[in-house]
Amino acid sequence: MKSWIINRTCDLSSEIAPLVLVDQPEPEPQTGQVLLKVNTCGVCHTEIDEIEGRTPPLVYPVIPGHQVIGTLVRHLGKRSDLQIGDRVGVAWIYAACGSCEFCLSGQENLCRQFRATGRDVNGGYAEYMIADENYVYKIPGIFTDTEAAPLLCAGAIGYRSLSLCNMMNGKTLGLTGFGASAHLVLKLVQHLYPKTEVYVFARSRTEREFALQLGCKWTGDHNERPPLRVDCIIDTTPVWTTVIEALACLKPGGRLVINAIRKEESDKDSLLRLSYPMHLWMEKEIKSVANVTRNDVQEFIRLAAEMSFKPEVEEYSFESANQALVDIKNRRIKGAKVLIVS
């Protein structure tokens, strides 16, 4: 089968072909697993963190991709609700141990044995992939294969980030960066908390215009101040400057939720601008978002279907995987990028 692999660490600001296309045998599922023929796979900023070594694969080579929509072609498990021919999705959570304190308390995202699809185990940038039968999700018919892929990461992690905001209808929310995940959070907020005003901070004018089209209250650059201080901000950028700027825009008692698997080192010195009275005093909090649980994925898919909203997607041919990654690196982003695999 044709598959894209990560076989080394490299810097995407100078490298335009980080992934290598190879032909390799179709994988063989074991007991408890299913084999999927991949239809589409979303492209995520996390692939860049893997390639650039901030969250590297356990072993090389690995097939990236953790927003996978596929057709079930073999079933070696016990789940009776799964049939050959079903359309299912696989997300970032490939598996967790199921027995530790975190798994038993609904926080399998924090499990020490958490395995990530497309980093610790082969993912969906390939014609076929294997998944654990207990970690696949049925996809409602209202979504096309392309529309469904971004629900699995951008949507699910956006849902988790919003859950960590303790949001209530009427509280104000800021979004720093307006890529795949943030645009889904905006739509989710409009559905769940119709009185909540959303303020979007983004460096790129395209992202700001896109946010206004989708109905946010205000947009500005990272260093601009909105007309009021907000209750909560979700930061989806890979940099540090935004953390400082966001903290300055929070109300007393406000919370900053950082939805980024890793931050880049390039502007870390901006943290030296941290002023305790301006950025942290008055019980301001910072919280990171780690991974997703199956419940996050399922809940987001359910809500997306209920709202019948379609994510804004940009399609790339399977052969253009490297181009899609370079475009994300250069923040040529409008919505979510998806590879058409077959």
User: Which residues in this chain contact Zn ion in the complex, by CB under 5 A?
Assistant: 44, 46, 96-97, 100, 103, 111, 153
| 111 vs 202 by CB, closer to Zn ion | 111
Question: Least distance from C-beta 153 to Zn ion, angstroms?
Answer: 3
| 181 vs 322 by CB, closer to Zn ion | 181
The strand pair at 285-288 and 313-317 is best described as unpaired
Question: Least distance from C-beta 181 to Zn ion, angstroms?
Answer: 8
Question: Least distance from C-beta 325 to Zn ion, angstroms?
Answer: 12
Instruction: Find the distance separating the first CA and the last CA of the chain, reported in whole Å.
Output: 12
| 103 vs 333 by CB, closer to Zn ion | 103
| 48 vs 111 by CB, closer to Zn ion | 111
Question: Least distance from C-beta 250 to Zn ion, angstroms?
Answer: 26
CB-based burial of residue 28 (10 Å sphere; 0-12 exposed, 13-18 middle, 19+ buried)? exposed
Under 8 Å between Cβ of 296 and 303: no
Question: Least distance from C-beta 305 to Zn ion, angstroms?
Answer: 20
| 158 vs 254 by CB, closer to Zn ion | 158
Whole-angstrom Cα distance, residue 158 to residue 45? 14
Whole-angstrom Cα distance, residue 21 to residue 220? 40
Neighbours of 24 (CB within 10 A): 15
Whole-angstrom Cα distance, residue 339 to residue 342? 9
Under 8 Å between Cβ of 295 and 18: no
User: Dmax of the chain from CA atoms?
Assistant: 59
CB-based burial of residue 321 (10 Å sphere; 0-12 exposed, 13-18 middle, 19+ buried)? buried
Question: Least distance from C-beta 89 to Zn ion, angstroms?
Answer: 13
| 243 vs 336 by CB, closer to Zn ion | 336
Question: Least distance from C-beta 159 to Zn ion, angstroms?
Answer: 13
| 110 vs 280 by CB, closer to Zn ion | 110
CB-based burial of residue 256 (10 Å sphere; 0-12 exposed, 13-18 middle, 19+ buried)? buried
